[in-house]
Amino acid sequence: MTLAILAVFSVALTLLGFVLPPQGVKRATLLGLALALLSLLLTWGKPFAFGPYRADNISQVFTLLALLGALWTVGLVRTRRFEFHLLVLYAATGMHLLASTQNLVLMLVALEALSLPLYALATWRRGEGLEAALKYFLLGALAAAFFLYGAALFYGATGSLVLGAPGEGPLYTLALGLLLVGLGFKAALAPFHFWTPDVYQGSPTPVVLFMATSVKAAAFAALLRVAAPPEALALLVALSVVVGNLAALAQKEAKRLLAYSSIAHAGYMALALYTGNAQALGFYLLTYVLATGLAFAVLSQISPDRVPLEALRGLYRKDPLLGLAFLVAMLSLLGLPPLAGFWGKYLAFAEAARAGAWGVLVLALVTSAVSAYYYLGLGLAVFARAEETPFRPGAPWARAAALAAGVLLLALGLLPGLVLPALAAGVKITP
């Protein structure tokens, strides 16, 4: 049902977009995404399969997170061109497909269906965005080639194009490694992260919100289905948390800093993936989507383009709601109680300890402590004194969404049991 709704709205709005006013297309896109989200909730815990398409438990949880990011993006953006909303809708359809299949051919189609709209969205504002989008496109094409070659080797090793088929030997291991490279690019795991800082800095802020939340959710849904070699995953965890956190220390632009932060968080998510605990990964992604989405939503109210760190100074005096919301987002990303980010990291780290992965766990703990320097610096900057500059209050919808996300982060921090049972049912890996 979710796929049908997304597909119908995509086709219909492609035709009606030339007739309807841009605001009408925006409202219709929001309606389509909301109906897809509603259908997902109404069928929660009820798997459905049709050919290679499988709306199973993993699909439901990670599609939910992807649709939340898509709704947030469409609601925040200010544009007079209807194509923006359609591109988000196309990408959301690709993300749902990517999360809903174990077939490598359909997975490749889904990867391209979500990637091509993102290349266009990254160039939405000309200038610096063109260079960033070109880098994104070239590296994305290379990652797709790795994925395709991995799929070919997987078929050669197992005689099947369905993930989960039994296999062994060096050819099978190489196939899984190449698939990991292709999906690691979308998840922004180091060392496949080189596109991330430039694209985040050069793209419009609502687009960056979409990339940092929805794309990451879809990528990790696919990674859950790939039985990646544990040694390779451990290496990606180590590289991501080190590179992401250390590089973030030197940044002077907020979006670029949060880009490196997202690389580090991809490493923490990969740690949950390494332990094989899908519930921990699902909860971590939920808290990450809320906190990162909230941070970029606030930044989008400051500027749709670059946001130097100096622009955050005095935000609380200009708009107390946005200032407090940004502080909550930073503290949750840092993992401080009583916010939801604390439980996300706790579950991932506890599972790593239970699995005996002490090396990557210690590294993750140390780098998480390092991140306190830049997260606290960003969060407290909103209270610093600054020169009085004109500031336009955010749109009511954006302010309401920021308030709701902040309240959810606090509620899930105080009562994580509100969603953990649903996630336990939703992310159970089925054969």
Q: Which residues pair with 53 in a beta bridge?
A: 50, 101
CA distances from 243 to 135, 187, 376 (A): 20, 15, 19
Last residue of a domain, one of 200, 225, 250: 225
Percent of the chain with pLDDT over 90: 53
Task: Give me the pLDDT at residue 414, please.
Answer: 87
- Whether residues 352 and 397 share a domain: the answer is yes
Do residues 209 and 73 touch, judged by C-beta distance below 8 A? Answer: yes
CA proximity to 346, closest of 425, 354, 261, 326: 354
Looking at every residue in the chain, the average pLDDT score rounds to: 88
- Whether residues 235 and 302 share a domain: the answer is yes
Residue 430 predicted with pLDDT over 60: no
- Whether residues 70 and 215 share a domain: the answer is yes
Mean pLDDT confidence for 6-24 = 89
Residue 159 predicted with pLDDT over 50: yes
- Whether residues 313 and 379 share a domain: the answer is yes
Q: How many domains does the chain have?
A: 2
- Whether residues 72 and 96 share a domain: the answer is yes
- Structural domain includes residue 91: yes
CA proximity to 136, closest of 149, 120, 150: 120
Last residue of a domain, one of 209, 225, 241: 225
Do residues 260 and 189 touch, judged by C-beta distance below 8 A? Answer: no
- Whether residues 207 and 246 share a domain: the answer is no
- Structural domain includes residue 148: no
- Whether residues 218 and 263 share a domain: the answer is no
pLDDT in tens, 174-229: 999 999 999 999 999 989 988 899 899 888 888 999 999 999 999 999 999 887 88
- Structural domain includes residue 149: no
- Measure the CA dihedral 388/75/336/284, to 10°: -160
pLDDT in tens, 224-239: 988 788 888 999 999 9
Do residues 400 and 318 touch, judged by C-beta distance below 8 A? Answer: no
Task: Give me the pLDDT at residue 219, please.
Answer: 93
Mean pLDDT confidence for 326-338 = 93
- Whether residues 239 and 208 share a domain: the answer is no
Last residue of a domain, one of 225, 241, 271: 225
User: How distant is the alpha carbon of residue 283 from its chain centre?
Assistant: 13
pLDDT in tens, 353-379: 998 889 999 999 999 999 999 999 999
Task: Give me the pLDDT at residue 230, please.
Answer: 86
Residue 406 predicted with pLDDT over 70: yes
Residue with tokens 């809708």: 89
Structure token pair of residue 291: 């906190």
Mean pLDDT confidence for 65-79 = 90
Task: Give me the pLDDT at residue 331, please.
Answer: 95
Residue 93 predicted with pLDDT over 90: yes
Total residue length of the chain: 431
Contacts of 369 (CB under 8 A, 6+ apart): none
- Structural domain includes residue 175: no
Residue with tokens 């749109």: 395
Lowest average pLDDT, out of 147-151, 332-336, 415-419, goes to 415-419
Mean pLDDT confidence for 310-331 = 90
Do residues 290 and 401 touch, judged by C-beta distance below 8 A? Answer: no
Mean pLDDT confidence for 407-417 = 87
3-state DSSP of the chain = CHHHHHHHHHHHHHHHCCCCCHHHHHHHHHHHHHHHHHHHHHCCCCCEEECCEEECHHHHHHHHHHHHHHHHHHHHCCCCCCHHHHHHHHHHHHHHHHHCECEHHHHHHHHHHHHHHHHHHHCCCCCHHHHHHHHHHHHHHHHHHHHHHHHHHHHHHHCCCECCCCCCCHHHHHHHHHHHHHHHHHHCCCCCCCHHHHHHHHCCHHHHHHHHHHHHHHHHHHHHHCCCCHHHHHHHHHHHHHHHHHHHCCCCEHHHHHHHHHHHHHHHHHHHHHHCCHHHHHHHHHHHHHHHHHHHHHHHHHCCCCCEHHHHCCHHHHCHHHHHHHHHHHHHHHCCCCCHHHHHHHHHHHHHHHCCCHHHHHHHHHHHHHCHHHHHHHHHHCCCCCCCCCCCCCCHHHHHHHHHHHHHHHHHHHCHHHCHHHHHHHCCCCC
Task: Give me the pLDDT at residue 264, please.
Answer: 95
pLDDT in tens, 101-137: 999 999 999 999 999 999 989 888 766 667 778 888 8
More confident residue, 182 or 386: 182
Percent of the chain with pLDDT over 70: 94
Mean pLDDT confidence for 42-60 = 85
Contacts of 195 (CB under 8 A, 6+ apart): 132, 135, 136, 139, 140, 185, 188
Residue with tokens 């991501």: 240
- Structural domain includes residue 389: yes
> Which of the four pLDDT bands, split at 50, 70 and 90, describes residue 389?
low
Do residues 117 and 92 touch, judged by C-beta distance below 8 A? Answer: no
Spatial separation of the C-alpha atoms in residues 109 and 95, rounded to whole Å: 10
- Whether residues 207 and 332 share a domain: the answer is no
Task: Give me the pLDDT at residue 213, please.
Answer: 93
- Whether residues 356 and 252 share a domain: the answer is yes
Domain that holds residue 212: 1-139+189-225
Task: Give me the pLDDT at residue 423, please.
Answer: 58
Lowest average pLDDT, out of 18-27, 167-176, 302-311, 363-372, goes to 302-311
- Structural domain includes residue 184: no
- Structural domain includes residue 147: no
pLDDT in tens, 240-264: 999 999 999 999 899 999 999 999 9
Residue 431 predicted with pLDDT over 60: no
- Whether residues 200 and 293 share a domain: the answer is no
- Whether residues 129 and 270 share a domain: the answer is no
Residue with tokens 């000309």: 126
Q: b vs e for 257-275, b when ≥16 Cβ sit within 10 Å of the residue's Cβ?
A: bbbbbbbbbbbbbbbbbbb
- Structural domain includes residue 164: no
Mean pLDDT confidence for 307-335 = 90
Residue 427 predicted with pLDDT over 50: no
Contacts of 252 (CB under 8 A, 6+ apart): 308, 309
Do residues 11 and 70 touch, judged by C-beta distance below 8 A? Answer: no
CA proximity to 238, closest of 194, 191, 275, 280: 191
